[in-house]
Amino acid sequence: MSFCTVVNCMDGRVQLPVIRYLQDRFEVLYVDSVTEAGPVKSLAEPVDETVSQSILSRVAVSTEKHGSKIVAIVAHDDCGGNPADEITQRRQLEESVDFIAGHFPETTVLGLWLDMDWSVFEVTSRDPAGGA
């Protein structure tokens, strides 16, 4: 069994494209999903402590119980939970990747952006601290 992790939006349109992308990209069988409405809004500065702590505790289940070494974070066009423009969302995505990487230094952390046609773009990443 192999797992990776995604911090995804709860939007139904982005679930399958992200899961399929991660399965292909990392050859994993299972993608553990942590969902919020526009999660990068809560993980970027200023961090929303209530939401971010909930996300961190759920990501930790995936890394600790399932041995996930990869965490992807998703932002997307037309996000109901985070109706900021693309430039703002991409900045929040960068900050969110830094935030998660700071808490899970053993993992690779990716930022994914989905366009209006639900194509997946890997726009940023952080390697594990110390290399792996």
**Interaction site with Zn ion (CB under 5 A):** 9, 11, 38, 79, 81
Residue 82 beta carbon to Zn ion: minimum distance, rounded to whole angstroms: 6
Sequence-separated (6 or more) residues with CB below 8 Å from residue 1:
29, 30, 66
Residue whose CB is less far from Zn ion, 22 or 114: 114
To which residue do tokens 């929303």 refer? 48
CB of 95 to Zn ion, least distance (A): 17
SS3 102: helix
Residue 16 CB, nearest approach to Zn ion (Å): 14
- In sequence order, the 6+-apart residues with CB closer than 8 A to the CB of 108 are 69, 70, 71, 125, 126, 127, 128, 132
